[in-house]
Amino acid sequence: MKILVVGAAGMIGRKLCERLARDGALAGKPIEAAHFVDIVPPSPPAFAAFPISCEAFDVAAPYVAPKLIADRPDVVYLLASVVSGEAESDFDKGYAINLDGARLLFEAIRSEHRLSGGLYRPRLVFTSSIAVFGAPFPETIRDDFFTTPLTSYGTQKAVTELLLADYSRRGFFDGVGLRLPTICVRPGPPNRAASGFFSGIIREPLAGREATLPVADTVRHWHASPRSAIGFLLHAAELDLAELGARRNLTMPGVSVTVGEQIEALRAVAGEAAVKLIRRQRDETIERIVAGWPSRFDASRATRLGFVAETSFAEIIRVYREDDDVGPVA
């Protein structure tokens, strides 16, 4: 079992690589080697029973994908992505990384498939997003709802989903796309994602720091923890994809809560002192982006296939405090 993780330096990628190193196996098979890549060199996990190579590449450069696939990895994780806010503000960069980079990787796999006489057919796990859906929404969104995104980021993810399904249909690889909820609470410094405040209003007050809330308390959204995201990725590598048929993209389970309910969960955990550190400052750009995102899903198809997430936002905070929190409110 050889593993390739593209996007290994990001928060999810780093946690996935650490988990693979710790487990030493994937889909019931021992890992013999792993290749972790990103635009900056990923940090190798401290302990692993198999050799790991960590390299920095620009996935939008045409020479990169053939180089990554030349060793014919058995499982390819495609996590590399320009986040939503940056994809909206930098049109060229968003399409270069989120769409062109994915297609170049798909084409490199197709080339190796052809050179092998059809024998090389890896499992490819792609992290998509609930941003592939666009308003107006029903109260609860099913997997078969129209993918009519209202952001460049969502469009890039939706097009990649279509390519993944078609390349899988043609037998070039065995692909599955995971529409991740907003991952919350994200550890570390804020990023340029439009959704970053969902984590910030929990993470920063728990550390005794002020957080900015750019939207109303009534905004509702779909969340899962980083721990759940890693569980989704691991499960996707061992899933019997015959159960998916031609519908290769799945909405992952999560928790639907309003910003106000997030704040109440924070109050229950850390008290009024933490809540008082949230500063309300309206941002019309973020309001517009978030208004185009769905807020509640029927993820029963993924649940039937064994994907599992938290069932309350209080549980999401608990997971953050167990896995990533640096300490209580100062």
pLDDT tens column, 294-329: 889 999 999 999 999 999 999 999 999 999 976 554
Confidence of residue 290 (pLDDT cuts 50, 70, 90): confident
pLDDT at 141 over 60: yes
Q: What is the pLDDT of residues 178-236, one digit of tens each?
A: 999 999 999 988 777 788 999 999 999 999 999 999 999 999 999 999 999 999 999 99
Distance CA 55, CA 308 (A): 32
In the annotation, is 153 catalytic? Answer: yes
Give the pLDDT mean for 259-263.
98
Q: Which one is catalytic: 77, 95, 153, 167?
A: 153
Question: What's the CATH superfamily of 196-221+254-323?
Answer: UDP-galactose 4-epimerase, domain 1 (3.90.25.10)
- The token pair at 33 is 């080697």
- Per the CB < 8 A criterion, the answer to whether 40 and 56 are in contact is yes
Of the candidates 245, 246, 233, the residue with the CA atom closest to the CA atom of residue 308: 233
* Mean pLDDT confidence for 158-180: 98
For domain 2-180+225-251, the CATH architecture is 3-Layer(aba) Sandwich (3.40)
- Residue 3 has, within 13 A of its CA and on its CB side, a CA count of 31
CATH 3.40.50.720 domain range(s) in the chain: 2-180+225-251
Q: Where does CATH 3.90.25.10 sit in the chain?
A: 196-221+254-323
Token pair, residue 127, equals 């992290």
What pLDDT was estimated at residue 326?
Answer: 60
pLDDT at 264 over 80: yes
CB 130 within 8 A of CB 294: yes
Per-residue pLDDT for 330 more than 50? no
pTM of the model as a whole: 0.94
What are the phi and psi torsion angles at 328 (to 5°)? -75, 175
- Looking at per-residue pLDDT, the higher value among 193 and 269 belongs to 269
Q: How far apart are CA 50 and CA 38, in angstroms?
A: 20
Percentages helix, strand, coil for the chain, rounded to the nearest 5?
A: 40, 20, 40
